[in-house]
Structure 1
Amino acid sequence: MDRLVAADGLRVVALVSLLGGLAGYGWIAGAVFFLVLGGTMVPRAVGAPGALDATYCLTILVAAWAAVLDWYLAVPWLDVVVHAAATGLIAALVQFVLVRVGMASAADTALRLPRSAVMVMTTATGTTLAVVWELGEWFGHTYLDSRIQVGYDDTTGDLAAGMVGALVAGVLLGSGLLLRGVRR
């Protein structure tokens, strides 16, 4: 086994959150934290850079707890911030995975894609994932729990924030800042 990394502590928090969320808040919270726990394993499994790993894990944990504890109702702007950050980080992680498996190139490799291509690909990936996220929220609201917040303004704001987050990730990836030194 590889050595422990800082984000492994966040994976333990995700496991404890799964157990606590299920016991204290019911099966919907348990399902949310089950997805978060699985999500926190992805950067570890693919060997993502430490900063990306930890920031991504922390962000999805905060996003889940904010939903379970209704922080988005108490602090309305938090939803947009979390959507921007989470979508950008998820898009960056997907780009890293594509580089790792040889389906894309990091901006600073010899087989380099143009910066604009990295930016467009990351932004498109993040935007697509933001749409999937919103479809999941709608499904959850419609079929699982009507307390899941949806609505035209919420969905439009979340999609816009996700696109901005994905664009920022694309700019950082295109400049080579996020995946500097990463090779296949």
Structure 2
Amino acid sequence: MIETFLRRPRGAAELTADAVRLVGVLCIAVALIGWPLLDVAVFALALLGLVVPRFLGIRPGLDIALGITVLVAAWSALLDLYNAIPYWDFVVHFALNGLVAAALYILAVRLEVIPDPTTTRVSLGAIVALTTSFGLAAGVIWEIAEWLGHTYIDETIFVGYNDTIGDLVAGGLGSILAGLAGRRLAAESRYVAAHTDPA
């Protein structure tokens, strides 16, 4: 995966995906100027979400979508859009959790933890169940992180029963949608092998 991360971008789409990562770095610099350290940490965490797809070598379309959604989620937190815009929290969790579930599914196929449905007969139900499980697990970890942040770092981090359940429902629905595209996601995992420079 290191070779994948260090590989030069090919084409406009891969350059765009890397440009989104650069925007993430610039967002940290902007946050350092105008926001508290906790908000800077939000962008540092977002940067992780921007870098992982590069390691996975997923197709640039999914890479760009995930990167932009991560940045939207981070800025929405800093600008308090989750409270200002009704249902915005639901929309962001639906999109981001679904894209994260897709990336986790691709990772699991590439690591051969689960069968590759492009080479092995796997039912769509199994693909949806696995992808949804990945997405829900990621959602639970996020909600635990929010609770830890609220409890031990900053009480202004909003947590609550309805918020937590709503976030998990939105993320679960997004993950189901990602699962329905499971065969296409598996094909994504083969992208790097065909686009890596020969040694």
TM over 0.5: yes
Give the deviation of 1:143 after TM superposition: 1.6
Partner of 2:28: 18
Give the deviation of 1:18 after TM superposition: 1.2
The equivalences for 1:58-77 within 5 A come to: 58-77=68-87
Partner of 1:44: 54
Aligned pair count reads 181
The farther-off stretch of 140-149 and 164-173 is 140-149
**What SS does the corresponding residue of 2:72 show, helix, strand or coil?**
helix
Distance 1:144 1:126, change over 3 A: same
Partner of 2:97: 87
Gaps of 5+ in 1: none
Give the deviation of 1:121 after TM superposition: 0.6
Partner of 2:184: 177
| Structure 2 counterpart of 1:143, from 134, 143, 152 | 152
Partner of 1:97: 107
Which residue identity lines up with residue 156 of structure 2 in the other structure? R
Partner of 1:157: 166
Which residue identity lines up with residue 91 of structure 1 in the other structure? A
Give the deviation of 1:104 after TM superposition: 2.3
| Structure 1 counterpart of 2:138, from 129, 136, 142 | 129
RMSD: 1.6
TM-score by length of 1: 0.92
Q: Give the percent of matched residue pairs that are identical in Structure 1 and Structure 2.
A: 40
Give the deviation of 1:181 after TM superposition: 5.9
Structure 1 Cα separation of the partners of residues 186 and 38 of structure 2:
35
Distance 1:181 1:85, change over 3 A: closer
Structure 2 Cα separation of the partners of residues 163 and 101 of structure 1:
23
Which residue identity lines up with residue 45 of structure 2 in the other structure? L
> Does the 8 Å contact 2:131/2:179 carry over to 1?
yes
